[in-house]
Structure 1
Amino acid sequence: MAYLRSLAAALCCGFFLSGALAAQQPPNATSVAPDAAIKPRPKVALVLSGGGARGFAHIGVLRALQELRIPVDIVVGTSMGSVVGGAYAAGSSVEQLEQLVRRTDWNAVVADRPPRDELVYRRREEDLLLPSRIELGAHLDGVSLPPAAAGNEALELALSRVLPPGARDKPANLLQLPFRSVASDLVTGELVELNDTPLFLAMRASLAVPGVFAPVRVNQRLLVDGGLVRNLPVDVAREMGADIIIAVNVGTPLAQEKELVSAVSVAQQMLQILTEQNVQRSLKELRPDDILLQPDLGGIGFLDFARHERAMKEGEAAVRAMSGRLVALALPEAQYASYELARSSAPVAIDQPVRLTKLEVAPSGRINPKELEIQSGLKLGQLVTSEQANKAGNQLFGRGDLARVETEVRDDENGRSVLIKPTEAEWAHSRLRVGLELSSDFTDNNAFELKVMHVLSSLNDWGAELRTIGRVGTERALTTQFWQPLGVGSQWYVAPTLEYGASSTDLFDSRGLRQARLAYDYQAASLVLGRQLGRWGDLRYSLVRQLARGHYSIPEVLEKQRETQTVHALTFNIDSLDTIAFPTRGTLFTLDWQRAVQKSGITSPAPTQQRVQGLEAFHAGRWAGHVYAEWARSQGGASENNLGGFLRLSGTTPDSVQGSRTILGRIVMARSIGAMPAALGGDVRLGFSLEAGGAYSPQDPLRWGSLKQAASAFVAVDTRFGPLYFGTGTTKGGNSSAYLFLGPIW
């Protein structure tokens, strides 16, 4: 499925990779050029193409034009060119643009969902249950891919930050410089010039690369990247009154034959050919006095955001290479200073807090608007800034079932009104997540599971969900849970749960040698009463009734033992990790207590179990890691606890260290040495672990000298299916083992 998503992104990104665009002057725009009576001069239009990370070269172009004192009267852009050009036309300085590029987490901008620590707890819990990132829409008519490979929240936050205060909702034709953003109507294929559209929306629509970012609806038209229909709109620039055009093309050149080795590269080349033909037709419209800049961006791809410094330098170099022609357009120093002051001196709207007198959430599909209103955190009567209102709207993305959230802020004599307009992600109402988990020490300790999780959300006005998880492989299990909040937006909930499973467990002696294998199956019904603790935690009480049957398969004993019991359980969870694959910040903590109050079928006392697990992640430069500790105790005949296996005393046979009490501690560190392609995963790390732990009993008190010491070395890869480890481990005075491990490590 990662291949399909990569193919989809490649099919649609061709238009984001190239193109140069031109601008059109609206009739009522006012140029900030010096008075024509002082020195009549031609009207200059700056046309900035799309190109993803290659578009950072536009900032270098602006820097060099500023140094040469070349005035710009009109700005037009598409995709990244629209972002840079729109911000510049609104009054942002080159320095501000440079700082924004350096501070922005561009990987988050093109990620398929908001940062994990911004998700609601219910969505974070899904990552622990199934760490795969392969998600589909599942409906009666089949399964479907999400409409875009990247999410919207980080992108729209970055667009907001690039604009000067007060410019977000300003019409594009009322900026300091006449500006035009170019988009395409996805239904009709027509070119759409966004002249009276709010600047933020105009830039966002121009960035809506099909398959990468979701389309944007503007005036009832579904809009996507303008490069689809006009990559270099020289004709539009002429209509705006441009006498001379400075066109900046940062498009990706056609690939060489030796690079066309996959379906993805061939599909991308096909679209690039069509795009290039469009560009060539527009280039013929350039006149002898126009200037074409094509920065040397070889080796920089549309997702190479980390190479922004080089892209900006190449933009500067391209201007300097044409300085012989450009200097004819230069202004005297004093005259240019006057021009620059007028361009950047837009009235700044100070974002003062204003009392919220009206709050409205527009209806969106199955989601109850009142639920979104509560989850936004906004309340009538409180003092809020425009930034706080927009942030409140954006945090709704953490639900996982919204495609877009628009927040409109208006002030009048009564106070501030906020309108939140969410767009439900139709595919996310019924989501299917597919994953794999496997482990092997390349001997006879191998496990494999295919896991599928299906979630139906917004089943009623209170936001109920039905979550079903199935596993097949070494273990078989099916769990379904109906999660029902106790009111609209309530943090309290009940969750009736049914579960069936079948598995086996090995029993070892004190030397770690396998003595028997117990096969068992179980059925359980539980009622959970819980409370979510904001987005970061959960506290729950469970009443469980379960039936278990087991027999020894090694040595084979056909007679089965049957056991039924009623269990009370309390669980407290904290999860603020930034990622499941290899966290660099945050905490994961679980405190679990269980006690059986009724038990039949065997004569052992009613058991009690306690377990505490804690993980604290950290990072320093390219290094990241975590400290982990675990303690568990079983009493009254409960199943013994166990250790052993990768990162749980590496080198020791999995689950071979058994006892009524166990303790484990480890420190893990790894250095980033590369990254997977964005469509396939994330970081690749080289690391090691130091571990200590053991099992003991009340008759055998814990002593430091009795703990086993272990270590491992590994390569960790963040894949779409979850974290993948290749490693080797050894336990002091014991065994060594190689490992292949896909799945969570706690």
Structure 2
Amino acid sequence: RLQQSGGGNPALAMARSREQRTPVIREIRVENDSKVGDAVIRRHIRQPLGEPLDMDRLQKDMGTLYGLDYFERVQYRVTPLDERGSALVIDARGKRSGTDYLRLGLNLSDDMRGDSAFNIGASYRVNGINQLGAEWLTRVQLGDRQELYSEFYQPLDAGSRYFVAPYLFGEARNIEAILDNDPIAEYRLERYGYGLNLGRQIANNGEIRFGLGQAWGEAEVRVGERDLPSFSFNEGYYELMYSFDTLDNVDFPTDGEDIGLLLRQYDSGLGSDEEYRQWQLELNKVFSVEANTWVLGGRYGRTLEEADVVTSGFILGGAQELSGFRQDALSGQNVALARLIYYRRLTQRSLLPLDLPLYLGMSLERGRAWNNDNAFDSGYINAASIFLGLDTPLGPVNFSYGFNDEREKALYLNLGKSF
């Protein structure tokens, strides 16, 4: 009867035949010569034992493993064990060229009135330091804004779900002091500090961190009224950070979204001279139609209590950050920025391994910076820019011209990764 029923129903007979061809996985093995341990690879394979092979799930898992950037290739094969099932073998070959990354960046801005800003930077990331996949990132920048940042990222389990990340940093930048909307001085602000974050990865695209940090520094008058006091300061803070990133390209994305949230509370119990809270939210949503791409986004930052305006300011200014102003030209305890960026790919996709996409685009922006004491409020500023970009294996090359309704205009050149 069963044979007759199957024979009388071709669709049912085909389904049974497909089920018989799908192997039941009784065992999962890992063949691995990379820096990370077998347990890390095994943790990313979600195939249940004793069940038929789930090809859709396996393909996603293989893509996730390859995206970890430790492997030259990741393959699988199914090896029969007996009549009751088979073994799924994951073959992971480590990168022969190494997994460490060096990135260089340079950015220039000139307001065409004799004032310019220049920064050059580099970052170096060492991957796979131990079998859990620890990483060490160091970033250095020289120029108008100087920075040294170093972080050690240590996963606490094979699945990299939980991690600890100690860091240290030093920075120096110029901050304008403004009274009644008129600049009265420019300070050179230096800050040094360290901190520790505990975090958890959320799926493959997000993470949340909680940590604490301490910093100290000084601010000296660089330009302007010499009678204004120089001062030193101490900071201690708790912070909570959330990030989510599905962009398909860091420099010229065509799809995805990017979300970042920072909450920080400065507390005298951690050695802070002042007690206040700050938060900042940044959003970007990307969508495309054929060769045309739009990026809709912005950021919003607030300082919730009274604090020294020199040490508690957010930064605005530069290409697509209120274009027309030079890099980091505006500082305020509160900032708001909304923008729409459009670009179109001018070159066809190449069939060769080397593809150099060329983009032509523009941006429309509206933003504001202000302090809590009302001594400074830029009001809402409208800005725009046009740019030409090239995506190269060494990083993006971007040349742009920006202007705004404050009669400010500037030329920008960015080579490689900006930090």
- TM-score computed with the length of structure 1 as normaliser: 0.48
Q: Choose the corresponding residue for 1:418, options 69, 88, 96.
A: 88
Structure (1/2) with the larger strand percentage: 2
Q: Whole-Å Cα distance in 2 between the matches of residues 709 and 682 of structure 1?
A: 33
- Residue 716 in 1 paired to residue 385 in 2? no
Q: CA deviation at 1:639?
A: 1.5
Alpha-carbon distance change, 697 to 401 in structure 1, aligned in 2, over 3 angstroms: same
- Residue 583 in 1 paired to residue 290 in 2? no
In 2, are the aligned partners of 1:729 and 1:737 still within 8 Å (CA)? yes
- The amino acid that maps onto 1:647 is Q
Match for residue 726 of structure 1? 399
In 1, are the aligned partners of 2:237 and 2:270 still within 8 Å (CA)? no
- The amino acid that maps onto 1:503 is R
What's the Cα RMSD here?
3.1
Alpha-carbon distance change, 489 to 557 in structure 1, aligned in 2, over 3 angstroms: farther
Q: Choose the corresponding residue for 2:347, options 674, 689, 711.
A: 674
Matched residue SS, 2:250: coil
Match for residue 643 of structure 1? 316
In 1, are the aligned partners of 2:386 and 2:401 still within 8 Å (CA)? yes
Match for residue 450 of structure 1? 121
Q: Whole-Å Cα distance in 2 between the matches of residues 517 and 558 of structure 1?
A: 10
- The amino acid that maps onto 1:598 is S
Q: CA deviation at 1:659?
A: 3.0
Alpha-carbon distance change, 350 to 378 in structure 1, aligned in 2, over 3 angstroms: same
Alpha-carbon distance change, 534 to 693 in structure 1, aligned in 2, over 3 angstroms: same
Match for residue 300 of structure 2? 631
Match for residue 26 of structure 2? 357
User: For the pair shown, which has the larger CA radius of gyration, 1 or 2?
Assistant: 1
Q: CA deviation at 1:739?
A: 2.7
Deviations 1:474-515 (A, max 9, x none): 33333222222122224011111122333333445665x654
Match for residue 215 of structure 2? 546
Alpha-carbon distance change, 640 to 664 in structure 1, aligned in 2, over 3 angstroms: same
Q: CA deviation at 1:606?
A: 1.6
Q: Choose the corresponding residue for 2:190, options 494, 513, 521.
A: 521
- The amino acid that maps onto 1:451 is A
- Residue 609 in 1 paired to residue 278 in 2? yes
Match for residue 219 of structure 1? none
Q: Whole-Å Cα distance in 1 between the matches of residues 349 and 193 of structure 2?
A: 41
Deviations 1:315-355 (A, max 9, x none): xxxxxxxxxxxxxxxxxxxxxxxxxxxxxxxxxx9476543
In 1, are the aligned partners of 2:168 and 2:195 still within 8 Å (CA)? yes
In 2, are the aligned partners of 1:449 and 1:474 still within 8 Å (CA)? no
Runs of 5+ unmatched residues, structure 1? 1-348
Alpha-carbon distance change, 423 to 642 in structure 1, aligned in 2, over 3 angstroms: closer
Equivalences for 1:359-398 in 2 at 5 Å? 359-386=28-55, 388-389=57-58, 391-398=60-67
Deviations 1:354-404 (A, max 9, x none): 432110101324321111010233342343245644553343111111112
- Residue 433 in 1 paired to residue 102 in 2? yes
Deviations 1:596-655 (A, max 9, x none): 11289996x323211000000111111112001211111331522243322122223444
- Residue 688 in 1 paired to residue 362 in 2? yes
Alpha-carbon distance change, 408 to 728 in structure 1, aligned in 2, over 3 angstroms: same
- Residue 735 in 1 paired to residue 408 in 2? yes
- TM-score computed with the length of structure 2 as normaliser: 0.83
In 2, are the aligned partners of 1:451 and 1:472 still within 8 Å (CA)? no
Alpha-carbon distance change, 691 to 543 in structure 1, aligned in 2, over 3 angstroms: same
Q: CA deviation at 1:559?
A: 7.5
Q: Whole-Å Cα distance in 2 between the matches of residues 540 and 591 of structure 1?
A: 10
In 2, are the aligned partners of 1:590 and 1:614 still within 8 Å (CA)? yes
Matched residue SS, 1:682: coil
Match for residue 592 of structure 1? 262
In 1, are the aligned partners of 2:117 and 2:326 still within 8 Å (CA)? no
Q: Whole-Å Cα distance in 2 between the matches of residues 652 and 469 of structure 1?
A: 25
Equivalences for 1:127-138 in 2 at 5 Å? none
- The amino acid that maps onto 2:53 is V
Deviations 1:394-427 (A, max 9, x none): 4311111111222111344222320011111144
Q: CA deviation at 1:540?
A: 0.2
Q: Whole-Å Cα distance in 2 between the matches of residues 464 and 480 of structure 1?
A: 14
Alpha-carbon distance change, 621 to 722 in structure 1, aligned in 2, over 3 angstroms: same
More displaced stretch, 411-420 vs 730-739: 730-739
Q: Choose the corresponding residue for 2:135, options 447, 452, 465.
A: 465
Match for residue 203 of structure 2? 534
- The amino acid that maps onto 1:626 is V
Matched residue SS, 1:362: strand
In 2, are the aligned partners of 1:568 and 1:595 still within 8 Å (CA)? yes
Q: Choose the corresponding residue for 1:482, options 132, 147, 152.
A: 152
- Residue 406 in 1 paired to residue 75 in 2? yes
Q: Whole-Å Cα distance in 2 between the matches of residues 632 and 622 of structure 1?
A: 33
Matched residue SS, 1:645: coil
In 1, are the aligned partners of 2:109 and 2:318 still within 8 Å (CA)? no
Match for residue 230 of structure 1? none
Matched residue SS, 1:649: coil
Matched residue SS, 2:98: helix
Alpha-carbon distance change, 742 to 633 in structure 1, aligned in 2, over 3 angstroms: farther
Deviations 1:524-557 (A, max 9, x none): 1211100011211110011101122221122468
Alpha-carbon distance change, 545 to 657 in structure 1, aligned in 2, over 3 angstroms: closer
Matched residue SS, 2:268: strand
Q: Whole-Å Cα distance in 1 between the matches of residues 349 and 116 of structure 2?
A: 29
In 2, are the aligned partners of 1:582 and 1:625 still within 8 Å (CA)? no
Q: Whole-Å Cα distance in 2 between the matches of residues 522 and 401 of structure 1?
A: 35
- The amino acid that maps onto 1:449 is I
Q: Whole-Å Cα distance in 1 between the matches of residues 418 and 121 of structure 2?
A: 17
Aligned identity (percent) is 24
Deviations 1:243-273 (A, max 9, x none): xxxxxxxxxxxxxxxxxxxxxxxxxxxxxxx
More displaced stretch, 682-691 vs 718-727: 718-727
- Residue 504 in 1 paired to residue 179 in 2? no
Q: CA deviation at 1:737?
A: 2.8
Q: Whole-Å Cα distance in 2 between the matches of residues 600 and 459 of structure 1?
A: 32
Q: Whole-Å Cα distance in 1 between the matches of residues 130 and 97 of structure 2?
A: 17
Q: Whole-Å Cα distance in 2 between the matches of residues 452 and 537 of structure 1?
A: 22
Q: Whole-Å Cα distance in 1 between the matches of residues 203 and 102 of structure 2?
A: 24
Q: Whole-Å Cα distance in 1 between the matches of residues 90 and 388 of structure 2?
A: 45
Q: CA deviation at 1:682?
A: 3.1
In 2, are the aligned partners of 1:378 and 1:392 still within 8 Å (CA)? no
Runs of 5+ unmatched residues, structure 2? 1-16
Q: Whole-Å Cα distance in 2 between the matches of residues 432 and 496 of structure 1?
A: 20
Q: CA deviation at 1:733?
A: 5.0
Alpha-carbon distance change, 459 to 387 in structure 1, aligned in 2, over 3 angstroms: same
Alpha-carbon distance change, 381 to 473 in structure 1, aligned in 2, over 3 angstroms: farther
In 1, are the aligned partners of 2:257 and 2:284 still within 8 Å (CA)? yes
Q: Whole-Å Cα distance in 1 between the matches of residues 145 and 402 of structure 2?
A: 25
Matched residue SS, 1:376: coil
More displaced stretch, 440-449 vs 552-561: 552-561
